[in-house]
Every structure is written in structure tokens, then in C-alpha cells.
Amino acid sequence: MKALLFISLYGLSAFWVSGDLNYDAAQRAELKAAYKLTLAFPELNFDMPVELTSANDDKDLIYLVEQKGRIMVYPNRRDVGEATVFLDIVRKVDSGGEKGLLGLAFHPDYKRNGYFYLNYTRSSPLQTIISRFKVSDNEPLRADPKSEEILLTYAQPYSNHNGGKIAFGKDGYLYISAGDGGSGGDPRNNGQDRKEFLGKILRIDVNKPLGNKKYSIPPDNPFRGNKAGYREEIYAYGLRNVWRFNFDYETEQLWAGDVGQNELEEIDIIEKGGNYGWRIMEAEDCFRMESCNQDGLILPLWSYRQGSATGKSVTGGYVCRDRSLPGLYGKYVYGDYVSGNIWALTYSGKRAVKNELIARLSDGLSSFGEDSRKNLYVLAYSSGKVYRLEPND
């Protein structure tokens, strides 16, 4: 097949990938027997979708984030014919490559307060912005673009590795993925530098502004009150570029896909105060360090070698709680942006038991999503389509 040029959103340069992934016979048989991808909303098409979610407001609506700076909204029906603009901040957003509007999270009490939160990049200087917006008082399907309240900003030294995911935990706190700042090999060692926001999972309390900040530090954040100058917002560190984390709300575990450098892609269960090794380690391998002391480091639950049959840029997913997919229920479903492979990881506690190739998307697997009923979706970056997994009977 004709080779395709992929520009990865998630920490890779431009490179060529053959259209034929050279699956061996066992992989081909497994793929054929597992699941198929079907269009969830056949009449809809989006521009570089990177996030799909729903609000906590008892309305069965889908919110779809486009990288350039738009959020689209539409009824959660297969036959829906049109999506409308919920918010347009294209003029605020510096997009392209790995930059853009990258994350959306609705406040747990959105039904009452109308608050939602965004993670995006802006230029001059290049920064990540974490901000709050509010839905319009008079139009429930349109946000007020003038309502922005910026909570947190941090500089981006390079244009790549911006992380971008934000989500609320059951604890009511807002979690934020911050990439290591970009370039390659983390030249500033941001992942291990606890005086920097970069290369971390951050956690803040948006409900209790304190002093000159629009948020406060949760009382059990691991570095709250430290005297070493560490950022108190840090929840976990030693991460390269988490492209998509999500909570399993049945177990409250926080799952993350961390994009690797040149060798390994990894899946982590994020623990408070955990050091996930970057740039000492790339997954379970030592990475270009004179000293490779692994004491205190948390190695991944699962990793895979980069290659034509596996992929080169992990897209973190969800522990499946989709009742229409009983064969996947309780498994961690994730994928790879480059190869389009979708896997289901069976685990016991913090030990991987089995990893199954279940499907493949051919046009850029940018993200997974869930609606208010925990139905699972797959986003195609290149075509702008939204898919569902179905058993391949």
C-alpha cells in the first residue's frame, strides 16, 4: 500500500509509516476475530478532533474538542445531523503540531454552576493555559467566550510535549497533565525537577481560591508545605508526555499513557507522589544516563517496543465500563496514534495479565472518549470521524 506521512501530535517528528503493518498470522487472526469500528455519528465530521466527553448535567449531549480551538456540541444520537459551536476560542489558541486546544473538563457541579475548564497553548510567549469558562446564562448550548478566568499558566520552552489532558477526580480536584517541555531527551531534565511544572501530573483545588491564586493546594498533595522550593501543585512526576489519562471511577485508579522517546511506549497507574522515571528511564530501560539508579522509581504496568507492527506514539484510553462491550468490561482499552492499533489490557491489581489486539483505526487515533453513560468512543484525527467498537461477529 502507499506509505502515509504522519505528523504525530504526541512527541514525534514527521516520519514515514508503511500502510502495510506486516501483522503476523496470529495477529491477523486475532484482529479479524475481535472487534470492528463503526461510525458512531455517520452524518458528522470534525476538524482534527482530540477530545470527546459529556457534562454532569443529566443531558445526553456530546462535547467534541477540535484542536484549533473549538468545542462542538450535539445530541447523543446516532442519527444526529448537525453539531453546533459551544465555544470558539480559535483566536486565543496557538495550534499546530502538538499545540492547540487539548483538554476539556466539566466541573462536577456543572449542572448548578455552569463551569468548565480548558487546557490550551497560546503564543507570545508560548505558554500552557489552564482556565475556567462558564456556560451562557441564556443559551444552555453555548458558552460565554468572555467568561474566561485564567487559573494557571506555565511556560513551554519548545513547541512539542504539551500534555493537555485535564479531568476531575472523585476527590473533586482538577488533575492536569504537563509534558516535559519538548525538544527530545528532556534537555532541561524537567521530568525530575520538582521545581518545575513540566513533566508532571498536577492537582489543584479549583473550589477554594487562596490569596492571589485562583485555586488552592489540596491538603494531601505530596509536596504541600515543602521547604525545598518544589511546586506544591505536583501530584506525580518523572513523566515524558502523558497523552491522555483517565480515571476508572469504579476503582478510582488514574491510568495514563506516556509517550516514549525512540524505544518504548508505556502505560502507568499514577500514584500520589510517584516518580515514573523519565529521563532516568524510558519505561523499564535506562535512558542515556551515566547513573541509572532505579531506587524509588515506579516502572510501568505495561509497555511495548516501538515498531511497524506496534506503533510509535501511545494514546491513553479508559478502563472500559461500557455495558454494550461485555467482553471488554473492566479491561484497559488504549491504542497507538501511528499504527492505529487498539488493545485491551487485562490486569490484576497492578500487574498486567494479557494484552490483546482488538481493532485498528487507519486515520490517526487521537483519543478515546466516554459519554455520560460510560459508552466508549474512538476519535480519528485525520478523517474527523467518531467511532464505536462493536464485536466482530
CATH level 3 topology of 4-391: Neuraminidase (2.120.10)
pLDDT band at 19 (very low <50, low <70, confident <90, very high): very low
Q: How far, in Å, CA of 279 to CA of 307, rounded?
A: 21
- Cα–Cα distance list, 146 to 6, 104, 162 (Å): 36, 17, 25
pLDDT tens readout for residues 224-267? 999 999 999 999 999 999 999 999 999 999 999 999 999 999 99
Residue 13 buriedness (CB in 10 A; 0-12 / 13-18 / 19+):
exposed
pLDDT at 350 over 80: yes
Q: pTM of the prediction?
A: 0.93
- Cα dihedral 75→77→81→83 (10° resolution): 30
Element (H, E) at 46: none
Q: Residue 40, SS3?
A: coil
How confident is the prediction for the chain on average, in pLDDT? 92
pLDDT tens digit string along 364-379? 999 999 999 999 999 9
Tell me the per-residue pLDDT of 21-50, one tens digit each, with 9 for 90 and over. 344 555 555 656 589 999 999 999 999 999
Residue 137's pLDDT band (cuts 50, 70, 90): very high
DSSP classification of residue 173: P
Q: Give dist(CA 65, CA 44) in Å, integer.
A: 13
Q: How confident is the model at residue 3 (pLDDT cuts 50, 70, 90)?
A: very low
- pLDDT, position 288: 80
Give me the residue spans of the domains in the chain. 4-391
What is the sign, positive or negative, of the torsion defined by CA atoms of 270, 372, 112, 51?
Answer: positive
